[in-house]
Structure 1
Amino acid sequence: MNADRILVVGGYGAVGVTVADTLDGWFPGRVVVAGRDEARARALGGVRADVTDPDGFRRTLQELGDVAAVVLCVEPPDSRVARACLERGVHLVDIGATGRLLEGTADLHDLAAGSGATAVLSVGVAPGLTNLLARRAHEAVGGADRIDLTVMLGAGERHGADAVRWTVEGLAEPLAGAPLRTTLPGHGTRTAHPFPFSDQHTLPRTLGVEQVTTRLCLDSKPLTSALFGLRPAARRPAVRRALTASFSRVHLGGDGFAVRADARRGDLHAACAVTGRAQSRFTALVASYVTRELLAGSPAPGVRHIEQLPALAGLPETLAAHGLAVWRLGEAPPA
């Protein structure tokens, strides 16, 4: 394949900027920033690409002509943009977190395999690092019956508009499961609440685990209580709009995050966790390392979730060079 360029869609956003900068360091001159705002994209030497316009997106790929990989740092409304990439044999890295959208892309496995392209889904912190830790804990107990994932995000971090909107929309979804008190290394004991992260729908299929639940809390305990106390009211669109506006303006708390995976099989219990600062930055770093693996490694064609690529199993340790701390049950918590 003579394709050469790496198209970073949403490359001027909170995640995309770091993806574009990191990949440019590894592949100088090959990164093209793209997004719906043509002026912002062109100011960075890029092009317009709108994920809500699949036909226009397909034309952008045709005009560029030599695209090796597309990194989606914004979430499209359906799988047509993924189809446009995979039918041309273009690798795809998708940081999306909505289960139904990832399932739509997963349905394109045969198309990708036939064109020689690889799509990697569940890329970021949650999903992403959650999936990798879940697999690690699952294997440590010899195959788990149940996995509990806990995600703590920093309420003080300036998340992108799409991320804030997605989080508020998640409050309105009816979910099974009860809150869980969990110790997060370096952050003490927290109460986390069930939340619609896509990993809990993906992992039962990729790992063969019967029960997977992902829960969310914020670094601010009062804000966590307030947020989930508003869950019944968040079913009303007006309340969701007000919450989205509030979280976009107000930043209470820090930028620390933590992810923990607990796997259980009978009396066996394994747990591992990672902690770091700036969740958006680490989402971008995960996406960058996945993209580098697609371009420099030998991934099998088709659609895969991150935990299905053996070459990425050690990614948490790789990210230690960027400030990520890795912990396992029985060890002292990271400083």
Structure 2
Amino acid sequence: MGEDGRATFTTSMRTGVRILVAGGYGVFGRLLAAELLETTDARLVLAGRNRRQAERAAAELGSERTEAIELDLRDVESVARAAEGCFAIACAAGPFQGLARDLPLAAIRSGAHWLDIADDPGWVLSALGDEDLGEASANAGLVVAPGLSTVPAVSGVLARWCVERLDDPHDAHVTLFIGNRNRKGAGATASALIAGFRDPSPVDLPFGRRVAYRFPTPDTELFRRDLGIRAEFRVALEWGSLGRMAAALGRATAGIGTEGQIRLARALSTLSEPFARFGTELGCVQVELHNEAGSIAATALAGQRLVVLPCALAVRALLSGELDEAGSLHPAAWLPHDEYIARLRSRRVRFLARERRGSRSAGSPP
């Protein structure tokens, strides 16, 4: 820690350790692996149910620091065995609604940190609130860090930045925007089907007005618990027709159960690939806080890689020894929010701010 109490972004870190990237050949697994290869010296083990696809992903990353294994996250004992000798498991496999809740504990018992990019409220809130899991990880000197993703990590950081600049905020509107050229992986597609797109409503974003759909995330509970603010979360897709289709499919498939929706999502992900050539790669999360007299909004823009950056930052901090806590780690609060923003900015994230009457001056963008 620095003299002012802030964590410092050190450059020396452990080298040669192994990090298992679960879901390593998926859309977000590849992005996370690429970020870790660029910012750490760790060896990466890309893991997934299809070894051939994992090997292909490792080859495409073009680094001698990658290897591939076959691993089915539904088999918790095999995950525990795979974690032995690893510094950490970084889980980018989804949907998290379909994963066993005891996976983090299996990693801890094998001597590995657990980090993930979940945005499912059931998964994140359960992991953060599991006292036995927190105690086991603390006793082992290890970290359990769920939700290290755009939501609830980056959204929580932006909310804390806004809270400093708005008197007595009582409501928050959080919006995730997904450009059409961002690949729609099976995990993300399944999550959309399971959670459902509901209650369409227009939302103002830095690049114009979009129709956004209500979507369940951990922010609703975390904003209430941490900041005393009511929060509503919505998702906006660049192509409005895709949003309407997602909403309709969610309603139509509700009766086939989670496993059925996961199987359908794999097919839909493949079918959507030709359409990903159109549109933009833009991606952002916006948090807008309101009080009786006005509002303030902060937006982080970085395309699809924004999803994995909080996880990669936490891995780097663990490797450097800077993050020396143990136990359950809050995805948005393990680092002071201004330092969190500085590190995201160093990874090419852009930030914008907007204020309306009644807020203290937002000053420069975060």
Query: TM over 0.5, yes or no?
Result: yes
Equivalent of 1:282, from 306, 312, 317?
306
Determine if the alignment matches structure 1 residue 135 to structure 2 residue 160.
Answer: yes
Tell me which moved more, 107-116 or 313-322: 313-322
In the TM superposition, what are the counterparts of 1:235-314 in structure 2 within 5 Å?
235-237=254-256, 245-246=267-268, 248-250=270-272, 251=275, 253-277=279-303, 279=304, 281-296=305-320, 297-311=322-336, 313-314=338-339
In the TM superposition, what are the counterparts of 1:82-101 in structure 2 within 5 Å?
82-101=104-123
In the alignment, which residue of structure 1 is the partner of 2:23?
A: 10
1:143-202: CA deviation from partner (whole Å, max 9, x where unpaired) = 532211011112332221111111122217xx7xx54432211x2012322111232233
Shift of residue 142, structure 1, vs aligned partner: 4.8
In the alignment, which residue of structure 2 is the partner of 1:201?
A: 221
In the alignment, which residue of structure 1 is the partner of 2:100?
A: 78
Determine if the alignment matches structure 1 residue 105 to structure 2 residue 127.
Answer: yes
Residue identity opposite 1:4 in structure 2: V
In the TM superposition, what are the counterparts of 1:14-29 in structure 2 within 5 Å?
14-29=27-42
In the alignment, which residue of structure 1 is the partner of 2:358?
A: none
Shift of residue 229, structure 1, vs aligned partner: 5.6
In the TM superposition, what are the counterparts of 1:46-195 in structure 2 within 5 Å?
46-62=68-84, 65=85, 67-75=86-94, 77-106=99-128, 107=130, 108-142=133-167, 144-171=169-196, 179-185=200-206, 187-195=207-215
Residue identity opposite 1:270 in structure 2: I
Shift of residue 90, structure 1, vs aligned partner: 2.3
1:189-225: CA deviation from partner (whole Å, max 9, x where unpaired) = 123221112322333223332x111011111234334
Q: Is the 8 A contact 1:9 1:35 kept in 2?
A: yes
Residue identity opposite 1:282 in structure 2: L
Shift of residue 104, structure 1, vs aligned partner: 2.8
For residues 103 and 9 of structure 1, do their structure 2 counterparts lie closer, same or farther at Cα, with a shift above 3 Å needed? same
**SS at the partner of 1:306?**
coil
**SS at the partner of 1:326?**
strand
1:40-70: CA deviation from partner (whole Å, max 9, x where unpaired) = 44564233332111111112223xx2x2211
Q: Is the 8 A contact 1:153 1:256 kept in 2?
A: yes
Residue identity opposite 2:209 in structure 1: T
Residue identity opposite 1:192 in structure 2: A
Q: CA RMSD in A?
A: 3.1
Residue identity opposite 1:92 in structure 2: W
Specify every segment of 5 or more residues in structure 2 that has no aligned partner in the other structure, as ranges. Answer: 1-13, 59-66, 356-361
Structure 1 segments of 4 or more deviating over 6 A? 241-244, 331-334
Give the distance between the partners of 2:215 and 2:316, measured in 1 at CA: 30
Give the distance between the partners of 1:332 and 1:218, measured in 2 at CA: 30
**SS at the partner of 1:11?**
coil
Residue identity opposite 1:78 in structure 2: A
Q: TM-score, normalised by structure 1?
A: 0.83
1:70-100: CA deviation from partner (whole Å, max 9, x where unpaired) = 1001145122110012234422211112211
Shift of residue 332, structure 1, vs aligned partner: 11
For residues 254 and 237 of structure 1, do their structure 2 counterparts lie closer, same or farther at Cα, with a shift above 3 Å needed? farther
Specify every segment of 5 or more residues in structure 1 that has no aligned partner in the other structure, as ranges. Answer: none
Give the distance between the partners of 2:294 and 2:344, measured in 1 at CA: 28
